Amino acid sequence: MELIILVLVFALLGYLLGGSRLGKKVDNATERLTLTTGKVADGLENRWRSLFKRSNPGEVFRSWVSGTGSSLFPDDFKAWLKGLSVEEAREFSTALGEYSKSLDFNLTKLVDGSLDKEPILRQVFVEAVVVYSSAYRKAKTARQQLEARESKKAPQPEGEIQPTEKSANRRAAGSQPEANEAASAA
């Protein structure tokens, strides 16, 4: 019985406060809070999407170099980058991103224009990118040449004795001239 009376008292208090000025102020504050929270949530969603969108970083970097960043890079670098396939551009930009992190640079800041306010730092970063790309190209060419040489070597069928193995087998069997002389002397 006491519980029912307590519930009725709180219901009556809620009804009276809801109709008063205080209730209207609470409603207005709640509405403003809801709108503000919605705006903050939309802003966070847009930021999240911009950070984690599934764009190809190779294409983003390549389009920036050919567009806005064109004046910063030498022509041979731009031509080389333009000639890369989509997969090669992705691989290069991934490797470049890792290299940039090791130098405490952020490739995204270069591309999005955040370094435009610091032209000296931007120029040093661009020079690092050009030097790295040169080393990257040389290493890739050397790797491809090595793979080409290795693929030209015809694989020997299993069980066939290699020339080095033949001479070792002959020595073990005593078929070398030194072994024959030692055997005839005995």
pLDDT grade for 133, boundaries at 50, 70 and 90: very high
Q: What is the model's pLDDT at position 32?
A: 86
Q: Which residue has the higher pLDDT, 182 or 146?
A: 146
pTM: 0.51
CB 140 within 8 A of CB 91: no
Quote the percentage of the chain above a pLDDT of 70.
76
Lowest mean pLDDT among 12-26, 40-54, 101-115, 146-160: 40-54
Domain ranges of the chain: 57-151
Specify the higher pLDDT residue, 124 or 158: 124
| Cβ atoms of residues 57 and 93 within 8 Å | yes
**Per residue in 49-106, pLDDT tens?**
666 555 566 678 888 888 888 899 999 999 998 898 888 888 888 889 889 888 888 8
